[in-house]
Amino acid sequence: MKKILFLLLIANAMFANAQSLSGLRNERAFKDYVSSEYNLVKNANEADISLVNPNLLSNGDQAELRKFLAAIAMTESGYRSHLATQRSRLSSLEAKYKLSTIPSRQLQDLLIPELNPVIEPIIAVTNGDCEDELQNTLIMNFAAAVLGHLTCSTADITVFAGIICHGAVATVHATADANARIEYKRCIKNQKK
């Protein structure tokens, strides 16, 4: 009986979290956050971003920071401004939806349906396996990046640490998306055989 009660409590908590995120998609702060973050990653120079070592960047390596900023075509002050805006958006979403209180895997699972309508229009055709795989991978990458940026909020206490942390997350995100597009092209090529 205790096990059943425990499982019911967990199921109820998961349902409550799912319900609490149900309005997330309609939030202006969410739409702006997603759009801004997606555009930053989408517009990153794939060749340049692949040369950035996220481990060195997260350790504060100035050369890696310069490579990262060049890859996203931003100055340090421009990236600081971007981070300040994104931090404000994420803070308002955190205040309303308590994203940080949800376990990482559950948050990722809950974010996927919220991100799907945002990512879906980016892919022109979604009626094939290759397109579905690309779409799913882009959504998973984005959800993981949101979790990374939430984690970086503790580093935002100092501006430089925040830049480094968020830069490392963006680098990994952009690289993962670039790899997804490579796999997509490979999938299309294999389908034609």
**Which residues, other chains included, contact 4 with Cβ-Cβ below 8 Å and sequence gap of 6+?**
none
Report pTM: 0.74
Instruction: Return the structure tokens found at 25.
Output: 């998609």
Cα separations (Å) of 122 from 35, 105, 118, 143?
Answer: 11, 25, 8, 16
Domain ranges of the chain: 2-192
What integer pLDDT is reported at residue 75 of this predicted model? Answer: 94
Give CA–CA dist 98/62, Å, rounded. Answer: 34
Torsion of CA 116, 70, 147, 163, to 10 degrees: -150
Q: How confident is the prediction along the chain (193 residues), in pLDDT tens digits per residue?
A: 444 433 333 333 443 444 466 677 778 898 888 888 888 888 888 889 888 998 888 888 899 999 999 999 999 999 999 999 998 998 898 888 887 777 777 776 767 776 776 666 655 555 578 888 888 888 888 888 888 888 887 777 676 778 888 899 999 999 998 899 899 889 988 887 6
Phi, psi dihedrals of residue 72, rounded to the nearest 5°: -95, 5
CB-CB contact of 143 with 171 (8 Å) = no
Helix ranges restricted to H, the chain: 2-20, 28-42, 46-49, 54-58, 62-71, 76-97, 104-119, 129-152, 159-192
